[in-house]
Amino acid sequence: MAGGEGSRLRPLTVGRPKPMVPIVNKSVIGHILDLLKSHGITEVVITLRYMAATIQDFLDDGSSYGMTLHYAVEEVPLGTAGSVKNAAEFLGDEPFLVISGDALTDFDLSAVIASHQAKKAIATMTLTRVDDPLEYGVIVTDDDGWITQFLEKPTWGELISDTVNTGIYVLEPEVLARIPDNEFFDFSNDLFPCLLEEGVPMHGYIADGYWCDVGNMAEYLRANSDALYGRVKLSQPVGEHIGGNIWVGKNVEIAPSAQLFGPIYLGNDVKIKGDVVVYGPAVIRDYSVIDNHSRVERSILWRNNYVGESCELRGVVVSRQCTIKSKVAIFEGAIVGDNCVIGEGAAIHANVKLWPRKMIEPGATVRESVIWGNQGRRSLFTRFGVSGVVNVDLTPEFAAKLSAALGATLEKGSFVAVNRDIHRASRMIKRALVSGLPGAGVNVWDLGTVAIPVTRFFVR
């Protein structure tokens, strides 16, 4: 199943589907295909919806993996079970394995299949134990492993088990008959509760090993870190091990004066220049350059990125083809989308997200995410005053902060006159300005709707 949009991973998934997000040296779905092949599964049907062509073009017919791939594309969202029913023409009349294409795992799939056959179950769900089950579907089984209850994202008061659904199933073909055609139908919310109510034998296999649902940014960072630390056993090596928990691809150049503290992965043709310091866990993918005197800590850089001289990147994710010019500082939790350009001396504060193709001016300080427009400006003022697009550059939050900053420069008890024109946007911004000034100890004269010459005369 590879139809996920990955909305919680944006802006990384603006230009690609969630299964195409890389974990260290290859995409999530690439790691899943490696796992399937290692267990002798070489014929795979991939269900697609969001940006389907991206995955089809990348994987093609599967020959590069030594596999045969088929594709079933949804025209409308069909849910997890509905997407599998949409692929029924490829499944035949034998049991089949269902696995998510956007999770990282090293489960023994052969053992899951063997358990399904031994128990003679109609459906086998692969379960795992987690420390915090509240964000998952919790599965309750009896002493023999037969499923007795489902709890979808329970509260602590409802929690009676720590085994959760991993989205990996072995199903008998007769299950497909219970899934309606061309309708939204989910395994966890629709199909399995119906089977349980009807008394259909469903077994829960508790798997040992690693599993991570790469559903949000924290889990994405954890998956990369765990892969570097060896907590997940990848079916293919990430690169050549050169010692010190450092793995590299082909034609990597590391300056003698550079300092690398693993675990670190450097992709093909990466260049680490003089006096650069890299602290792991860190991933720097193919064709990226880290220029002299820069420092990269606990960060992930995708392909074709340039980091200029004397930059500092701490705990960030940088997507593809970004240019980060010299003396830039980017702090914890920040995410830089595809094709962004960050000017010299700019600072990107913690947890800021830059959507693709944003340009940040030299020396700018960015404290809020930039989704629309180009808010990464060094100066707020132009020859016409503060300018920008309403609700993009000029928001009520921005106006309130601006007026509070203005009030902080004035003496306590000063008066500020505020007026506007007849537009509704002006009314919105004026109200925000008026709300910010009193907090700085400044009095406000609200002149309502008045022409600018009248206001000038009033304040003389």
Residues 196 and 279 in one domain: no
Residues 345 and 426 in one domain: no
- The torsion angles phi and psi of 218, rounded to 5 degrees, stand at -60, -40
CB 346 within 8 Å of CB 361 = yes
Residues 179 and 288 in one domain: no
Distance CA 45, CA 192 (A): 21
Structure tokens at 440: 């700085």
Answer yes or no: is 235 within a domain. Answer: no
Which of 314, 331, 366 terminates a domain? The answer is 366
Which of 218, 250, 285 terminates a domain? The answer is 218
- The domain total for the chain is 3
Answer yes or no: is 386 within a domain. Answer: yes
Q: What is the per-residue burial (b if ≥16 Cβ within 10 Å, else e) of 68-81? A: ebebbbbeeebbbb
Residue 327 φ/ψ region, left for φ over 0, alpha for ψ in the -120 to 50 degree band, beta for the rest: left
Answer yes or no: is 333 within a domain. Answer: yes
Residues 172 and 79 in one domain: yes
Per-residue pLDDT of the chain (460 residues; tens, 9 = 90+): 777 777 888 899 898 888 889 999 889 999 999 999 989 989 899 989 888 888 888 888 888 888 899 998 888 888 888 898 888 888 888 889 999 888 899 999 999 999 999 988 899 999 988 877 777 778 888 888 898 888 776 666 666 677 888 889 999 989 888 888 888 988 888 888 888 888 888 898 999 999 988 888 888 999 999 999 989 888 777 888 888 889 999 999 999 999 999 899 999 999 999 999 999 899 999 999 999 999 999 999 999 999 999 999 999 999 999 999 999 999 999 999 999 999 999 999 999 999 999 999 899 989 888 887 655 555 566 666 777 777 666 788 878 888 888 888 888 888 888 888 888 888 888 888 888 888 778 888 787 887 778 777 777 7
CA distances from 65 to 20, 60, 68, 240 (A): 15, 10, 8, 20
Q: How many helices (H) and strands (E) would you count in the chain?
A: 9, 38
Q: 240-241 and 246-248 as β-strands: parallel, antiparallel, unpaired?
A: antiparallel
Which of 366, 393, 422 terminates a domain? The answer is 366
**Which domain, by its residues, includes 195?**
7-218
Structure tokens at 459: 């304040």
CATH number of 296's domain: 2.160.10.10
CATH number of 156's domain: 3.90.550.10
Residues 50 and 193 in one domain: yes
Residues 285 and 427 in one domain: no
Q: Which helix (H) or strand (E) holds 204?
A: strand 202-206
CA distances from 435 to 37, 231, 388, 401 (A): 62, 52, 20, 10
CATH number of 453's domain: 3.40.120.10
* DSSP, res 102: T
Residues 15 and 57 in one domain: yes
Answer yes or no: is 408 within a domain. Answer: yes
- The torsion angles phi and psi of 143, rounded to 5 degrees, stand at -65, -25
* DSSP, res 180: P
Residues 28 and 159 in one domain: yes
Residues 146 and 251 in one domain: no
Residues 177 and 285 in one domain: no
- The torsion angles phi and psi of 164, rounded to 5 degrees, stand at -120, 160
Residues 79 and 201 in one domain: yes
pLDDT at 299: 95
Distance CA 442, CA 408 (A): 8
Answer yes or no: is 371 within a domain. Answer: no
Distance CA 107, CA 102 (A): 15
Answer yes or no: is 374 within a domain. Answer: no
Q: Residues, the chain, total? A: 460
- The candidate with the shortest Cα–Cα distance to 375, out of 363, 396, 358, is 358
pLDDT at 377: 57
- The candidate with the shortest Cα–Cα distance to 390, out of 406, 379, 377, 375, is 375
Residues 172 and 196 in one domain: yes
Answer yes or no: is 372 within a domain. Answer: no
Residue 354's CB: how many other CB atoms inside 10 A? 28
Answer yes or no: is 287 within a domain. Answer: yes
Residues 6+ apart with CB under 8 A from 178: 191, 194, 195
Distance CA 72, CA 86 (A): 7
pLDDT at 201: 87
The single-letter code of the amino acid at 39 is: H
Query: Which ranges in 94-233 belong to alpha helices (H)?
Result: 109-119, 192-197, 217-229
CA distances from 74 to 22, 50, 53, 109, 169 (A): 24, 9, 12, 27, 20
